[in-house]
Amino acid sequence: MPYQEKSRETPIIEETDVIVCGGGPAGVAASIASARTGAKTRLIETHGQLGGVWTTGMLSWILDSKNKPGLMGEIIQRIEGMGGRSQAYPKNSGGVGYDVEVMKLALEEMCFEEGVEIRLHTRVVAAARSEENRIAFAITESKSGREAWQAKCFIDCTGDGDLAAQVGCGFDIGRPAEGAGSEGRQRAGETQPFSLMCLIAGIDAEATSEYHDRTDRPWHVPKEALMAEFRRAGLESSYGKPTIFKIHKNLFAWMINHEYGFSGVDAQQITDATIRARSELHRLISGLRSLGEPWSDIRIVATGAQIGVREGRRIHGRYTVTLVDMLEGRRHEDAICEVTFGIDVHSTNKSHGTGIEGKPVKKKTQPYDIPLRALIASGVDGLLMAGRCISGDFLAHSSYRVTGNAVAMGQAAGVTAALAALSNRLPHQVGFQEVLPLISSLSV
Ligand SMILES: Cc1cc2nc3c(=O)[nH]c(=O)nc-3n(C[C@H](O)[C@H](O)[C@H](O)COP(=O)(O)OP(=O)(O)OC[C@H]3O[C@@H](n4cnc5c(N)ncnc54)[C@H](O)[C@@H]3O)c2cc1C
């Protein structure tokens, strides 16, 4: 029998033009773009800093940003200007390394400069829709109690689609049932593993270069060398392709952990995975330290405040990005960005390996477009999504989820939401010809 709470009145704390829920790469971009388009914009974030997986998750590595000159380019320029861009990798190395603490500050400053109103330490826990099928309120819990927030337009950038799910939108999670066999059915719903990232100091960059320097070696060589070191210490990392990103000459981000079989939308499972992961990181680093040089002073500086959850809900939208889009290199008239990153599924089940899964299709995938329609919820009016919770299938998500794309999606969602709010229309009523020039003019 569930406990029946007493009904109560929730104060409407604010009425605004656009509310963005979740302050990760997508949410920050959506907020800045919305504010720059002229809308009064509120950003609500559950953790104590902006950046999502970039900062709270301690990621340290931006992918698929090269062809994203807009806000993504601006953020990279900003962190570079603040001395927070890793100089360890050539500009054409396919990724951008950054200093997590500089990223936190840069994102706060950028939002502040645009007049985005920020509320940290506040979680969206419920939502309400009007009789006209429009999302009306986001409801939050925090130290201030339970509060209702009203806006003309909402953007779900929670990564897991929390707001959309709370207002009753349809969604998918994990693998679809592949094939008619029992294995396909058994694997349906499996999701990619979590990874708890950590920052490492106390090692000499030159003395450990064979484990992280990729200047004239392919990616897999340093990973195999590091795995061999763990084995020398009598250990095995749960991620079969342990990876080090060099940030500064004495600061490194490590991705060496995989937590399999946990759901990103179940608080107890996230808790259990976090505790297991932190314990493994300390075990692995202590193991290396016990080997002596070059590891004798190695230290964990910090583990992520939030374990990295690769996938949660994929909210149903007015278009669904699929594997077919990738195979055909599909183009759209309402394209908001081009994704160049390919399929990248971290093994969803330990029994199928502990690294990255092999490509599921023989045909090569092509760069493809994300259409604005994939960012507009189909289940309720007045709601957009940006980042990893947009409308897509399992394999397409494994490609577009990386942060260069999340930022571009946020930028487009922010402009569209602002235009809709300022003209009392719904996002799907805003013509793409109105959005496009504003996305371009927001580019540096
Ligand atoms: C371990 C790991 C490694 C990765 N490696 C790379 C990589 O090398 N390069 C790359 O570019 N991408 C990488 N990715 C993918 C990328 O980090 C994510 O897909 C990306 O961060 C998605 O951006 P987002 O803004 O949609 O979500 P997130 O970064 O997850 O941000 C969501 C934000 O919403 C907040 N939030 C969640 N729920 C609520 C709520 N109910 N109320 C209020 N706030 C809420 C969260 O605290 C967070 O700040 C990796 C991801 C993981 C997990």
Q: What is the pLDDT of residues 372-427, one digit of tens each?
A: 999 999 999 999 999 999 999 999 999 999 999 999 999 999 999 999 999 999 99
Give the model's pLDDT for residue 441: 61
The reply to whether ligand 1 has any atom less than 6 angstroms from the CB of 402 is yes
Q: Encoding tokens for residue 97?
A: 């390394």
Residue 105: pLDDT band (50, 70, 90) is very high
Per-state percent for the chain, helix, strand, coil, to nearest 5: 30, 25, 45
Cα(299) to centroid(ligand 1), Å: 26
Nearest atom, ligand 1, residue 60 CA = 8
Q: Which of 65, 63, 56 is nearest to 100 (CA)?
A: 56
Atom 20, ligand 1: residue with shortest CA distance: 403
Q: Identify which of 403, 407, 411 to mutate to test ligand 1's pocket (most ligand atoms within 8 A of the CB).
A: 403
With H, G, I as helix, E, B as strand and everything else as coil, classify residue 110.
Answer: helix
Q: What is the arithmetic mean of pLDDT over 123-137?
A: 98
The b/e string for 289-325 (b: 16+ C-beta within 10 A; e otherwise) is beeeebbeebebeebbebbbbbbbbbbbbbbbbbbeb
Ligand 1 within 6 A of CB of 285: no
Q: Note the pLDDT of residue 180.
A: 58
- Sort residue 145 into left (φ over 0), alpha (ψ -120 to 50) or beta: left
Residue 444 banded pLDDT, cuts 50, 70, 90? very low
pLDDT at residue 23, rounded to an integer: 98
> Which atom of ligand 1 is nearest the CA belonging to 158?
34
The mean pLDDT value for 105-123 works out to 98
**Contact assessment for residue 287 and residue 359, using Cβ atoms and an 8 Å cutoff:** no
For residue 212, pLDDT beyond 90:
yes
Asked if residue 253 has its Cβ within 6 Å of ligand 1, the reply is: no
| Closest atom of ligand 1 relative to the 125 alpha carbon | 41
Average pLDDT over residues 227-248: 97
Confirm whether pTM is higher than 0.95: yes
Residue 56 beta carbon below 6 angstroms from any ligand 1 atom: yes
Say how many Å lie between the CA of residue 46 and the centre of ligand 1.
13
Q: Does the beta carbon of 66 sit less than 6 angstroms from any atom of ligand 1? A: no
Whole-number pLDDT of residue 89: 85
CA nearest ligand 1 atom 8, residue = 61
Between CA 118 and CA 111 the distance in angstroms is: 8
In contact, 195 and 308? CB cutoff 8 Å: yes
- As given in the structure block, the two tokens for residue 319 are 């278009």
Domains of the chain plus CATH, in order, are 12-174+311-441 (3.50.50.60), 198-303 (3.30.70)
| Ligand 1 pocket residue status of 46, Cβ below 6 Å | yes
Residue of 32, 59, 68 best suited for mutating to test ligand 1, as the one with most atoms within 8 Å of CB: 59
Q: Which atom of ligand 1 is nearest to the CA of 306?
A: 47
Has residue 290 got a pLDDT over 60? yes
Residue 214, pLDDT above cutoff 90: no
Residues 316-337, mean pLDDT to the nearest whole number: 97
Residue type for position 399: S
| Residue 63, ligand 1, Cβ within 6 A | yes
Which residue's alpha carbon is at the smallest distance from atom 49 of ligand 1?
52
Q: What is the pLDDT of residues 163-197, one digit of tens each?
A: 999 999 999 999 998 765 777 778 899 999 999 99
Would you say the CB of residue 26 lies under 6 angstroms from ligand 1?
Answer: yes
- Centroid of ligand 1 to alpha carbon of 334 (angstroms): 25
CA of 54 to the centre of ligand 1 (A): 7
Cβ of 27 closer than 6 Å to ligand 1, yes or no, is: yes
**Helix/strand/coil for 443:** coil
Contact (CB, 8 A) for 156 and 315? yes
Ligand 1 contact, 74 CB (< 6 A) = no
